[in-house]
Amino acid sequence: MFIDEAKITVRAGNGGHGCIAFRREKFVPRGGPSGGDGGDGGSIYIIASDQDNTLLKFRYNHIFRAGRGQHGQGSNKHGKNGEDLEITVPLGTVVYDFETSETLHDFTQPRERVLIAAGGRGGHGNAHFASSVNRAPSRAQDGMAGEQKELRLELKLLADVGLVGFPNAGKSTLISSISAARPKIADYPFTTLEPNLGVVAYDHDKSFVVADIPGLIEGAHLGHGLGIQFLRHIERTRLLLHLVDVSPTEDRDPVADYKTIEKELAQHNPELPKKPRIVVATKLDVADPAKLRKLQQWCRQQRIDLIKISSVTGEGLEELKHGIIRKLSSETPGES
């Protein structure tokens, strides 16, 4: 099951209390204070892992606690520090403060380790307060409370290319044709219910990651269809492939389809329409010539790259991969 949002509570450990004690030995009548300090509470860290790809483990486990510090003891014994707690999250996870919506950290690199809740400091025992004018202090400090926070975790997949388009535009068929990803493919709308990632190899030494997003419909930003709950996964992508079905089976205008989806993208995030994109005319093996001509003419007028493909016959797939590599290289010189 793909889970890309979670709410959790983290509680760092409290510090241990300082101890009030006095040294008592048979031949040491004025042994003085010997109360030890309390141990520090354990802190909570979040670590990015490239072994996880979903927030599913947080669905039933909502509360995470670090160890508390032990109290100080007599004979100047320092309390044991509480154990730290490490929580692993998938790469691409953004951690927000639930109350303020402040972004605490965006995990984009493997093995990033970030302190998210600090443990409380242990209190001083009475031995700490001894001085030349107060040789027998009878006070000690209580340990400080550890930080407690409510967090919202939001996973945004890390991919180079995002696929968008109406349901049944051919996104799942495309990603299964050019990568090892095997999403469910069927001839009814909303076959894809969760994002899929695929790694595409090209020309022996080049590769890129593609994210297949469940299909959008008009009014998605209002919650229609599957809504826009998965669009966060293309916010990080460098390139969008906008798939448009030009087969005669769908009684729709291909240009109107394109504009509808672009409008939904803008409603979700005004930055999405600014991303570079390639329009992909799909189902070329059964294309309606009139639809294809209309889409080609409109793309020429708008100066938008158009590539025609058939994921069934393989026509145009090499040209598409080459076009993607070229676009990605132009966006980040020296990379592919």
Q: Which residue has the higher pLDDT, 333 or 305?
A: 305
Residues 172 and 151 both lie in one domain:
no
**How many Å apart are CA 329 and CA 336, to the nearest integer?**
5
Residues 168 and 316 both lie in one domain:
yes
To 5 degrees, how large is the angle CA 194–CA 197–CA 200? Answer: 150
Residues 49 and 184 both lie in one domain:
no
Please report whether residue 62 resides in a domain. yes
Residues 271 and 321 both lie in one domain:
yes
Residues 177 and 271 both lie in one domain:
yes
Of 126, 155, 184, the one marking the end of a domain is 155
- Residue 252's pLDDT is 85
Say how many CA atoms lie within 13 Å of 125 toward its Cβ.
24
Please report whether residue 325 resides in a domain. yes
Residues 320 and 239 both lie in one domain:
yes
Flag whether pLDDT at 190 surpasses 80. no
Flag whether pLDDT at 44 surpasses 60. yes
Q: What is the CATH number of the domain that holds 130?
A: 2.70.210.12
**How many Å apart are CA 162 and CA 23, to the nearest integer?**
70
**How many Å apart are CA 310 and CA 306, to the nearest integer?**
13
Domain extent for 98: 1-155
* Tens digit of each residue's pLDDT (9 = 90 or more) over 70-120: 999 999 999 999 999 999 999 999 999 999 999 999 999 999 999 999 999
Say how many domains are in the chain.
2
Q: Determine contact, residues 267/217, Cβ cutoff 8 Å.
A: no
State CA 214 to chain mean position distance.
Answer: 18
Residues 141 and 248 both lie in one domain:
no
- What is 76-143 written as a DSSP string? TBPPPPPPPEEEEEETTEEEEETTT--EEEE--STT-EEEEEPPPPPPPPGGGG--SS-SS----PPP
Q: What is the CATH number of the domain that holds 326?
A: 3.40.50.300
Please report whether residue 248 resides in a domain. yes
- Residue 335's pLDDT is 40
Q: Determine contact, residues 292/308, Cβ cutoff 8 Å.
A: yes
pLDDT band at 192 (very low <50, low <70, confident <90, very high): very low
Please report whether residue 84 resides in a domain. yes
* Mean predicted lDDT score pLDDT of the chain: 87
Residues 228 and 309 both lie in one domain:
yes
pTM: 0.76
Phi, psi of 240 (to 5 degrees): -110, 135
- Residue 229's pLDDT is 66
